[in-house]
A and B are shown apart, each in its own frame.
Chain A
Amino acid sequence: MSNFQIKKKPTVYDAIIVGSGAGGGMAGYVLSQAGLKVLMLEAGPFYDPKLHSHQMLPPWVSLRRGAGTTRAFGEFDAAMGGWQIDGEPYSAKDGTEFHWFRSHMLGGRTNHWGRISLRFGPLDFKGKSHDGVGDDWPINYDDVKPYYDKIDVMLGIYGSKEGLPNDPDGIFMKPPKPRLHELFIKKAGQKIGVPVIPGRGSVLTEELKDNKDRQKCWYCGQCGRACRIYGDFSSSSCLVIPAQTKYSLELECNAMVREVLTDKEGQATGVAYVSKDDGQEYQVMGKTVILAASACSSARIMLNSKSTRHPNGIGNGSGAVGKYLHDSTGVAMGGIMPSLMERKRYNEDGVGSVHILSPWWLDAKKAKLDFPRGYHIEYWGGMGMPSYGFGFGMQGINGKYPTKDGQTKEAGGYGASLKQDYRRFYGSNVGMAGRGTGLALESNYCEIDPNKVDKWGIPVLRFHYKWTDAEINQAKHMQETFQEMMKAMGADITWGIQGKENNYGLEAPGRIIHEVGTVRMGDDPKKAPLNKWCQSHEVKNLFVTDGGPIVQQGDKNCTWTILALAMRTGEYIVEQKKQSNI
């Protein structure tokens, strides 16, 4: 006889939160702070930057010198998981492409991001009213502004007051000072009319008021490895662990959620999950269920939560769950600035987020562009820490640039002369990447693959995603801008020039890891699964607080907006509970 059984936990929680990233972390913090009994389920292991970060490890302690063999962004990157996870497949149909980066661990994908923290602006919430494209959000900037303000103060963000119409200022700490190559980028921007402003990132350049757990940034430039002194924002260090320590948030790790459970009326009663620790099946009950598993994972859970009341998946009477999936666009280019060769050495690691930024500077209508909306530009360069790949391809450049005494070398080579070349070129690299608006379209979606399950028997996702002319023409504009910028800086482009045949270098959908929109909010229950509070129209005690509710992203990275919306929804839930509405 089989001993297969489903174990039921006796406690009934006020709220169960699925996922511990930005959205889950913030919801968990707000609810547990309000005194609710909260259980957070995380599909991966516990992770505390203080204990587990690879920060400050030099490359020689790594057998592969930091190569990205098992982690796409290098061995020292904090994010576990990646584009492919053993036993957790996904696919794309109709010859389309979508890349899905997953990081099952405490903090989720806040373990992998540039800490670039940009508010969506008024036009981003009401884009359709401005240019007729896509859909407006059911809320506007002023609805979200108080929450942006609160998270700025609570979590810490640096930046500068610029008074730009669609890149609203926040409550900023002082921005880090620019590096040398960044001054040249600013100068080049002035020449060709591209604004370059101090960056905006969630890194503590000053003491965080009333917070003794987090220290000021120590400028190692390694936010991506997770910060041992909690000097930047990660959901683990800034939300979940404090909620465990200060309040009574309960955290269950390695808990892979299958579905949301419902009663006869179709209301949520809890969730079913499989434990990766013991392989056993569990059910846990909660009065409210909050999905924050990531845009696509939350859509997957909803679509897999089928019942008589919810034949298309829980809260999916609209049929929109999984649809309107959209990632940011991305194009990148790099080169060498000969004027920066053989310069003085000093520590310019700086912060691990951006020191400078170009916010979108045009109006598509006025500038007569052949695409709506726009993009921002991020930049890099400088005397960074060598890791695997350092020095590759020297034969492609050392014959092109004469030495200071005017000698032009034969390309390639070896010996003492070659060693001089590595020193000569060090610190002369520069590069830039555009991150722009991808449109939320019904025709880009994820759905349940009827033929496939993961290793726990949970049906998996299948994607369908095609860029349109809007994104491709935007990529072309990025190409032109970047080439102009490089030229104005006096830099030679060494990679990144792409033409029509390669969509002008436009990255495949998913590659920018900004995918959102799969459980959108909207006033009409026939068109959108969630109302303006990120609450299911049909299942009043079901909420989504990750990137899913985003109706249409702006030319901004999405984390700060996920946090603001999650805080707003968290406070709404507390209020509704007080009034016994849920």
Chain B
Amino acid sequence: MKRRDSLKFIGVGSITAGLLWESCKVDQTPTPASPVQTTADDIITAGREAHEIERDKKLLGETFFTPEEMATIAVLADIIIPKDEVSGSATEAGVPDFIEFIVKDLPEHQTPLRGGLRWLDMECYGRFEKAFVDCTPEQRLQVVDDIAYPNKAKPGMEAGVTFFNRMRDLTATGFYTTEIGFSDIGYKGNTPNTYTGVPDDVLEAFGVKDMNWG
């Protein structure tokens, strides 16, 4: 059984008229194991309101970015978060798909990103007579270097800087909220355990052993 089937929310709006006087039943169904992975069409239904589920379905049925825009997003995302000795790249972590969804979910991202992508293509066209994705890796970085450092960006580059800041934010969030990202950052939690306090070696290293209790 698929996770989402096993988690199907039985509460919201499911009390039929025939049951009205019988009260809401206590269901003793055992808790399913924590899910591992979702796919793009997998919507959480447990514990959510009907309007929330409908909203997800509707958004998943819509497409915001064009294939060309998505290609540019993918290239940019991997420039921002490339594969390194610690972990994989933004595209390996599915960041472009996340960005496609989040701009539909939070429309305030739409115009800045769409406009920013076009700004980038126009800037590349002005310099190399090619769209960003058609540029060589060196040409791409030449433009990115001009918009990736807010404090030293030259006048005229402000719109590019603003766009790149947003791309950096969304790429990082999209990356670090995946399994690859968890492992990269070293997040050890979200698992049943008994918290036993700050490890002794850390207490020693920080010189706060005397502050401890419990």
Binding site for B on A (CB under 8 A): 9, 45-48, 50-54, 56-67, 69-71, 75, 78, 80, 86, 106, 160, 174-180, 183-184, 186-187, 198, 218-221, 226, 228, 241, 244-245, 250-254, 275-278, 280, 339, 343-351, 383-395, 399, 410-416, 418-419, 422-423, 426
Please name the residue on chain A nearest to B151 by beta carbon: A411
Contact of A252 among B20, B98, B188 (CB under 8 A): B20
Q: Are B152 and A51 in contact (CB under 8 A)?
A: no
Please name the residue on chain A nearest to B52 by beta carbon: A70
Q: Are A412 and B150 in contact (CB under 8 A)?
A: yes
Binding site for A on B (CB under 8 A): 9-17, 20-21, 23-27, 29, 31, 34-35, 37-38, 40, 42-44, 46-49, 51-52, 55-56, 59-60, 79-82, 84, 86-87, 98, 101-102, 105-106, 144, 148-152, 161, 164-165, 168-169, 172-179, 181-182, 184-199, 201-203, 205-206, 208, 211-214
Q: Are A45 and B13 in contact (CB under 8 A)?
A: yes
Q: Are A221 and B189 in contact (CB under 8 A)?
A: yes
Q: Are B20 and A278 in contact (CB under 8 A)?
A: yes
Q: Are B194 and A219 in contact (CB under 8 A)?
A: yes
Q: Are B13 and A349 in contact (CB under 8 A)?
A: no
Which residues of chain B are near A51, meaning CB under 8 Å? 9-11, 27, 29, 31, 46-47
Q: Contacts A46-B10, A277-B13, A386-B185 given; 14 further ones with Cβ under 8 A?
A: A66-B177, A178-B213, A180-B206, A180-B208, A183-B211, A184-B211, A339-B206, A347-B188, A348-B198, A390-B176, A390-B177, A393-B169, A419-B81, A422-B176
Q: Are A57 and B197 in contact (CB under 8 A)?
A: no
Q: Are A50 and B31 in contact (CB under 8 A)?
A: yes
Contact of A414 among B79, B102, B184 (CB under 8 A): B79
Give the secondary structure class of A's interface.
loop
Contact of A386 among B12, B29, B176 (CB under 8 A): B176
Which residues of chain B are near A58, meaning CB under 8 Å? 34, 179, 182, 190
CA distance A196 to B75 in the complex (A): 49
- State the Cβ distance, B57 to closest chain A Cβ, in Å: 10
CA distance A345 to B198 in the complex (A): 11
Which residues of chain A are near B86, meaning CB under 8 Å? 419, 423
A177/B165 contact (C-beta < 8 A), A385-B190, A415-B79 known: no
Which residues of chain A are near B195, meaning CB under 8 Å? 176-177, 219, 347-351
Q: Are B174 and A65 in contact (CB under 8 A)?
A: yes
Q: Are A56 and B190 in contact (CB under 8 A)?
A: yes
- State the Cβ distance, B86 to closest chain A Cβ, in Å: 7
Q: Are A219 and B185 in contact (CB under 8 A)?
A: no
Q: Are A347 and B191 in contact (CB under 8 A)?
A: yes
Q: Are A416 and B186 in contact (CB under 8 A)?
A: no
CA distance A78 to B195 in the complex (A): 23
Please name the residue on chain A nearest to B24 by beta carbon: A46
Q: Are B46 and A9 in contact (CB under 8 A)?
A: no
Minimum-distance CB pairs A-B, first 10? A391-B172, A177-B197, A52-B47, A345-B186, A218-B192, A349-B189, A59-B177, A46-B24, A177-B214, A46-B11
CA distance A183 to B214 in the complex (A): 12
Contact of B105 among A69, A278, A393 (CB under 8 A): A69
Q: Are B148 and A414 in contact (CB under 8 A)?
A: yes
CA distance A47 to B29 in the complex (A): 13
CA distance A349 to B188 in the complex (A): 9
Q: Are B172 and A245 in contact (CB under 8 A)?
A: no
Contact of A178 among B20, B81, B212 (CB under 8 A): B212
A64/B101 contact (C-beta < 8 A), A414-B79, A414-B144, A415-B79 known: yes
Which residues of chain A are near B10, meaning CB under 8 Å? 46, 51
